[in-house]
Structure 1
Amino acid sequence: MQNTNNITSQTTSYSSVTRSNFGAWGWSMVGFSMLMYYNFAAWTADGLNVIVQSFVDLHGWDFATLLSFSTPAGWIGVVGALIIAEMIKRRGAKIIAIIGLLALGLTMIWFGRITSYMEYAIGLALMNLLATGCCFNVPATLLNSWFPRKKGLALGWATMGMSFCTATLIPLMFFLFNRFGIPGAYAVVGGVLITLGIISIFWIRNTPEELGLYPDNEPISREQQTTNLAMQADYQSTFTYRVLFKDREMWLISVGYGLLWLVDIGVVSQLIPRLISVGYEKETAVWMFTSAALICAIFSYFWGWVDVKIGTRKTSVVYAFFFAITHSFLLIRGNEVFTYITLLLVGASIAGIKELCTSMVGTVFGRYDFAAANRLVSTIACLFRVSCFAVIAISLKYTGGYDGAYMSFIVMDLIAAVLIFMINDKCKGKQDVSIA
């Protein structure tokens, strides 16, 4: 399999790649992707902080029983990521975004009116399947198609949506519960998602060429633009499952970034209990957690900027070592100043994984073959992601605290750095043909 020419090697200056000159339509794709990432974080992770308790309050159900459904729902979400990623490859990101948002909205409306444990389990599984498969894979595919060279920067902006979700979702849901009641609150959320799905019919385009625009918002000839659009319509990726399972880079990306995603969720999901365990009041711990989330939003852009400045592979290796330092700080019980420094490191660390993993898939497989490769990479990485709770549970059981988990995380950081360093980041997928 041979590459053609680099998409804009003759028309895009190196310095312009680090500028967020996406153009009006390009920025709108980034904004849409930010909303999708917000919903991914909301209904697969952050929302569990309020979803479980809301049904305890509404029906008097057992908290532990409801919480036990979260793990199988997460695994179903992984299966959903593979199924929906396959649909994106076959039909494109736009149609899957529309259908997925409409289905997620209807699910939320129904979810607020469930009356049994079985319905709760089914609703939670559907939410995880749709949010993981649609709200995570659609923006990744969209931004890699629109910004093949600036994907790191675009993803840096878009993945801020996850941080904004962490900082705002809980107070927003409490407001809706108080204003509309629990069933009404879920109906409002569902209505917003359905509205977003309808708007997406007129808003979203799979590629900039469909609007007569340029990849990366950098000028190319009209002849090349027309050729690119024709190639996109007819292209069938040669990266089948059989090819991907034998591909060295696919495994290095999946496992390397999967380990970093595992330690990322391991830190985020247990940061408040960790702060409480070292002596902070619950209200203070929640405020500190929110502060870390806002720091994360800032560093989402930072890691994206470094990505396009020095390359995804180098940035990812630096990121892995940076995370190892963060985990080392989490092992130390210092004074209040030290704790705030640690929170700064945590906020900076948890920001990078979503952007860097997606960007590396685009770097290695290119805009044409991204959807084909990402359907498997995202699934394997999600398997690591949902395994973080097992590591934490073992640490709590055998050490009585989080130190064992953090020490394991440091080892995983270093292993991930080695695996990512071994990646050959030369694009092996099809690229646009440059027309003289």
Structure 2
Amino acid sequence: MIGFSLLMYYNFAAWTADGLNVIVESFVDLHGWDYATLLAFSTPAGWLGVLGSFLIAEMINRKGARLVALGGLVALGATMIWFGRVTTPMEYAIGLTLINFLATGTCFNVPGTLLTTWFPRKKGLALGWATMGMSLCTATLVPLMVMLFSRFGVQDTYAVVGGVLIVFGIVSFFWVRNTPEELGCSPDNEKLSKEAMAENLREFNEHKSPFTLPVLLRDRDMWLISVGYGVLWLVDIGVVSQLIPRLISVGYDKQTAIMMFTTAALFCAVFSYFWGWADVKFGTRRTSIAYAFFFAATHACLLVRGSDTFTYFTLLMVGASIAGIKELATSQVGSVYGRYDFAAANRVISTIACLFRVMCFAVIAASLKWTGDFDAAYMFFIFLDFVGAALIYFITTECKGRVDASDAAYAGH
């Protein structure tokens, strides 16, 4: 499940964040459309993609992650094939919206649900490994897409990508199981009798979560998690989606900027595991607060135009910062709501957090329009880092959802 989840996180990052470094430019080069106009579509497309996050998360809650992975990936692949052949900016906007809808809903929610179900105690480490997929995406997607564009052209490149996604979706049906008990395994690979695993599976399938939509909307911790991690996710995507344009704007050529982007991603892969280890070692809440302060320092470094040495130090900071958000946010939901109620709580939390995530494009666009550079956005991001830390501080350390008796001692973080 960790390997499958890694690939899902790769695709989530690819089509909602990292890909914007090349997707927009590819259509500008193909059709001669205005870059700013196409980039502006990213914000409403992301907002509508949030609807996908909620609807598909609700489907996971009702039908399980396995079937949703199959349907969502096949639909995403078909959309990608059509997207490469759009002929107007409006068709581009529609295609980008559908991609955000399916990638956010499927590639974001499915792996988080699976890993929290399979590894309720060790979810921090499992997520640390799996979210390396996002880091690998940051390291490889841009050069991979540039190579494919050069080899096949823009339209056929999107067709190739779409075909791969369809095959991945079909394979996922045979690869994925909603719970470890379905394969005769136990959560966290603990030693359990066959009778205990059968009882776990029965209880999991029969469990009706008390965290209905009205209950969640009145729940203080739901709002603290959603907004606290939502603003941190906003600043994360704000940095990673426009890092190459930022580097070009301060004087680096495109190829050097891509190399630097890849360097940051390699740092990110290492720190994905680090944040997962810290999660298990020190608890999700405390690690998340430290993460927010670390990100504030990163944004401060991005405001400085120094030597090449300082730039690479800043890239190390960027790589370490963008590594943690997905692991920590998902782990926090699991810590507060538990294995049985994760899907019910996450359908609302992920939706609200995604609303904040896509607002980053509006912040960056405003910064570019009114100041001509990214500095105003980075200063606002520093403020949001402290807001996120403050909100996370007030999240409960107790598990409010149902847990297995053997997991009770491990539920609170």
Using the size of structure 2 for normalisation, the TM-score is: 0.94
CA contact (8 A) 1:113 1:183 kept: yes
1:302 alignment partner AA = F
Bigger Rg over Cα: 1
State the partner residue of 2:65: 93
1:124/1:279 Cα in 2 relative to 1: closer, same or farther (>3 Å)? closer
2:259 alignment partner AA = W
Compare 127-136 and 175-184 and name the one that shifted more: 175-184
For residues 58 and 405 of structure 1, the distance between their equivalents in structure 2, rounded to whole angstroms, comes to: 30
- Map Cα deviations across residues 346-379 of structure 1 (whole Å, 9 max, x no partner): 1101110011000000000001100111111111
1:209/1:294 Cα in 2 relative to 1: closer, same or farther (>3 Å)? same
CA contact (8 A) 1:224 1:433 kept: no
1:398/1:50 Cα in 2 relative to 1: closer, same or farther (>3 Å)? closer
Matched, 1:358 2:358: no
2:197 to 200, 225, 244: 225
State the partner residue of 1:297: 269
1:410 alignment partner AA = I
1:384 to 345, 356, 366: 356
2:261 alignment partner AA = F
For residues 406 and 245 of structure 2, the distance between their equivalents in structure 1, rounded to whole angstroms, comes to: 54
The alignment partner of 2:398 has SS state of coil
1:142/1:404 Cα in 2 relative to 1: closer, same or farther (>3 Å)? same
1:273/1:56 Cα in 2 relative to 1: closer, same or farther (>3 Å)? closer
- Map Cα deviations across residues 294-343 of structure 1 (whole Å, 9 max, x no partner): 11111011101111111111111111111112122222333332222221
State the partner residue of 1:150: 122
2:111 to 127, 133, 139: 139
Offset, 1:293: 1.1
Q: How many residues align?
A: 407
2:175 to 195, 199, 203: 203
The alignment partner of 1:126 has SS state of helix
Consecutive unaligned residues of structure 2, counting only runs of 5 or more, are: 408-413
1:120/1:326 Cα in 2 relative to 1: closer, same or farther (>3 Å)? closer
1:408/1:116 Cα in 2 relative to 1: closer, same or farther (>3 Å)? closer
The alignment partner of 1:134 has SS state of helix
CA contact (8 A) 2:42 2:361 kept: no
Matched, 1:192 2:164: yes
1:261 alignment partner AA = W
Matched, 1:82 2:58: no
State the partner residue of 1:124: 96
Offset, 1:114: 3.0
State the partner residue of 1:170: 142
Compare 419-428 and 351-360 and name the one that shifted more: 419-428
Compare 292-301 and 163-172 and name the one that shifted more: 163-172
State the partner residue of 1:54: 26
For residues 227 and 244 of structure 1, the distance between their equivalents in structure 2, rounded to whole angstroms, comes to: 28
Offset, 1:68: 3.3
1:422 alignment partner AA = F
State the partner residue of 1:415: 387
CA contact (8 A) 2:6 2:132 kept: yes
CA contact (8 A) 2:69 2:172 kept: yes
Matched, 1:161 2:154: no
1:191/1:272 Cα in 2 relative to 1: closer, same or farther (>3 Å)? closer
CA contact (8 A) 2:43 2:359 kept: no
State the partner residue of 2:234: 262
State the partner residue of 2:283: 311
The alignment partner of 1:102 has SS state of helix
Query: How large is the Cα RMSD of the aligned pairs?
Result: 1.8
For residues 182 and 288 of structure 1, the distance between their equivalents in structure 2, rounded to whole angstroms, comes to: 24
Task: State the identity as a percent.
Answer: 72
CA contact (8 A) 1:228 1:433 kept: no
